[in-house]
Structure 1
Amino acid sequence: MDTQTRAHTVLTVLKTIFPNPAPSLTFSNNWELIVSVVLSAQTTDKQVNVVTKKLFHTYPTLDHYLGTSLDQFTKDLSAIGLYKTKAKNILAAAHILDTQFHRVVPQTIAELILLPGVGRKTANVVLGNAYGIAEGIAVDTHVTRLAQKFKLTKHRDPKKIEQDLMHIFPKEEWFLLTMRLIEYGREYSPARKKDDDTDPISIALRKATKTGP
């Protein structure tokens, strides 16, 4: 089975199981979205939501981030992994957003990655959720693992995996593809079962191989 056919099969199953995927992070504006995604690095979305529930109440506007000290903000993030680095990056990003982008979250990857703590993956997530823009595909650990499992890529480098996925999936599917793969990984194919082939997509791929030309 060629890669394009595999991609079509994977997408069909994903859209059947998750017709209307929704973000698992909780936020009420584009700046809070950036904060949430930065905090989610090597941390579960569930834990991020616990922390941001209080954080967004304490810091309801960008001015509150600009007006706090690094020491205080670091303490406010102490319940989350890598909190010292994340605190420094978020406050630095707030200042850049204020001074360079007129307090408006940028609408391109090139501009978003100028914000400390924002890499290409984070930028893709922000663009999709904030503006419905798909410049690329956000590749996290779930996407990496499943893309390899379903033989959609031979690479391990997230940037190369992203390019492979962009080549075989329609652009209009890019944003929701990440959300669907993440949910699929959590519910049907967690890392601890990486060699299990009884999940719906693995079954569908085997059937497609048997019935294919």
Structure 2
Amino acid sequence: MTRQGLFLTFEGIDGSGKSTQARMLAEHLQARGHEVVLTREPGGSPGAEEIRRLVLEGDPDRWSAETEILLFTAARRDHLERTIAPALAAGKVVICDRFADSTRMYQGLSRGDLRALVDQLHALMIGREPDLTLLIDMDPDVGLSRARGRQGREERFEDFGPALQHRMRQGFLSLAEEFADRFRIVDGTRDIDSVAGDVAALVSGALQQAGP
């Protein structure tokens, strides 16, 4: 186990396989003796899970973009207080399926030019970024087809359609350039085990930098 916690996030368009890779990484690290907390956004704490149901169900136009940003920030604050920060303080590895970068994309760009508002609220109420963000990149049409065929899918955002997914892919790639110090891009078009191998290698390097 690492002496100091390590905060890892997975990002990518719907159907990119990031949730599967997050789970596989958690199993990989646990098998090597690390204490791991696998979590997700929106959600990851009781209060945040309640907000998740509000924002992921119903008509695509149920909330304004501004209201969505406030809801996601509230969920993230509860998640940070109750799950992420305590685990990191205890020296655990936190693996989160989506974090603030998804809000920067989905609410900050897809539903109006509100990126500045997202960043302002993030600085005010969250105040931290992941130590390492793994972007699972793939063709949006393939990803959306995968997403629509799975159980428990996030219908409300997927129902915005393929145009949104193409914009999101470009947005995530732009974020990877903007935050090049913490983003690593992984080719998600390959088989699951090949992707997982690259992910494990990247995280191994981050763990070595974090120290014993």
Bigger helix share: 1
The answer to which structure, 1 or 2, has the higher relative contact order (CA under 8 A, 6+ apart) is 2
Same fold (TM over 0.5): no
Instruction: Specify the TM-score bucket, using the shorter chain as the normaliser.
Output: under 0.3
TM-score of the aligned structures, taking structure 1 as reference length = 0.25
